[in-house]
Amino acid sequence: MIHPMLDKAAALIREGRLVAFPTETVYGLGANALDPDAVRRIFEAKGRPSSSPLIVHVSSVAMARALAAEWPEQAEILAARHWPGPLTLVLPKQPQIPAEVTAGLPTVGLRMPAHPLALALIEAAGCPIAAPSANRFTELSPTTAEHVRRSLGSAVDLILDGGSTPVGIESTVLALTPRPLLLRPGMIGQDEIEALIGPVATFSSPIAGAHPAPGLHARHYSPRTPLILVRNGLLPAAGRGAYLKEGEAMPSEPAAYAAALYSTLHRLDEEGYDWIAVEEPPETPAWTGIRDRLRRAATP
């Protein structure tokens, strides 16, 4: 038995209830992806607008293929290399995926998480699991069960505690049709994807025919304490705050920095500071996902 509450959690998913569970990125708030009422409960619990599509989690490539109306060669290549892992592929959906999951879009985001408990839950429930991060809308994503408890409390039927999530920021999201477009950077970099499938468009460097992405809210992933991005340690003159910099208060390597980021922000949020100043990480590809989250967390 991988976790004492696994059977209970799987039964709750089958009954249309909400279960928070760990993935390698952050904790997810899961429901049966094929049950529209269950999926609606996710939006209610989070206070999330129904215009924001959910990622559907699968436990095998076969399960993903069955939910996608098209499975291009690039999906095959990327899944073979990066699944299970923090890469979401957006593909045309099969009709069996309810409109609630995809915010009415004809496409669905699919991902096979690299976490034994997440995979065991999907297997035991016997259905794909739709799950956004297990926090109230716009708040910081949870990287521990305690973060979920604090944000959602009784709005979730069960929290499967699997310790801290190792990757620490949300998955890379890549649309594949009509052509590859990076919708959200993450710890699987654009360079790694391009090495496998060729050029990928981004919002900053669109290529002809690329489509815009829905469900991208600029402000997201925010602590309650104002977060400011700074350069060269230039801190606000007034107030009490904390200063985060890679290689000083934070790890110097991107993977370790990402793993520590949200838990650090959650902890600093409890300190009652006037501000959290974060030094802008280097403008290199390895930091792109982290820089994206920091920009969105920053107070405008």
Cβ of residue 74: shortest distance to Mg ion, in angstroms? Answer: 26
- 25-84: which residues touch ligand AMP (CB under 6 A)? 52-55
Residue 248 beta carbon to ligand AMP: minimum distance, rounded to whole angstroms: 29
Long-range contacts of 145-150 (CB under 8 A, 24+ apart): 145/20, 145/22, 145/27, 147/27, 147/262, 147/263, 147/266, 148/20, 148/27, 148/29
Among ligand AMP, Mg ion, none, residue 56 binds (CB under 5-8 Å by kind): none
Question: CB-wise, 19 or 242, nearer to ligand AMP?
Answer: 19
State which residue has the least CB distance to ligand AMP: 109
Show contacts with ligand AMP in window 167-206 (CB under 6 A): 170, 173, 183-184
99, 105, 158, 286: which one binds ligand AMP (CB under 6 A): 105
- Show Cβ contacts of residue 82 under 8 Å, excluding neighbours closer than 6 positions: 188
**Smallest distance, ligand AMP to C-beta of residue 134, A:** 10
Would you say the C-alpha torsion 207, 175, 185, 103 has a positive or negative sign?
positive
Return the SS3 of 130: strand
Q: Which residues bind Mg ion (CB under 5 A)?
A: 133
When CB distances are held under 5 to 8 angstroms depending on the partner's kind, the choice from ligand AMP, Mg ion, none that residue 108 binds is ligand AMP
Task: Kindly give, in sequence order, each residue whose CB lies less than 8 Å from that of residue 284, ignoring residues fewer than 6 positions away.
Answer: none
Of 245, 94, 255, give the one whose Cα is nearest residue 165: 255
Residues that contact ligand AMP, how many (by CB under 6 A): 20
3-state class percentages of the chain: helix first, strand second, coil last, to nearest 5:
35, 20, 50
CB 7 within 8 A of CB 124: yes
184 binds, among Mg ion, ligand AMP, none (CB under 5 to 8 A by kind): ligand AMP
Q: How far is the CB of 148 from Mg ion (least distance, A)?
A: 12
**Beta bridge partner(s), residue 31:** 130
Residues in contact with ligand AMP by CB under 6 A are 52-55, 90, 102, 105, 107-109, 132-133, 170, 173, 183-184, 213-216
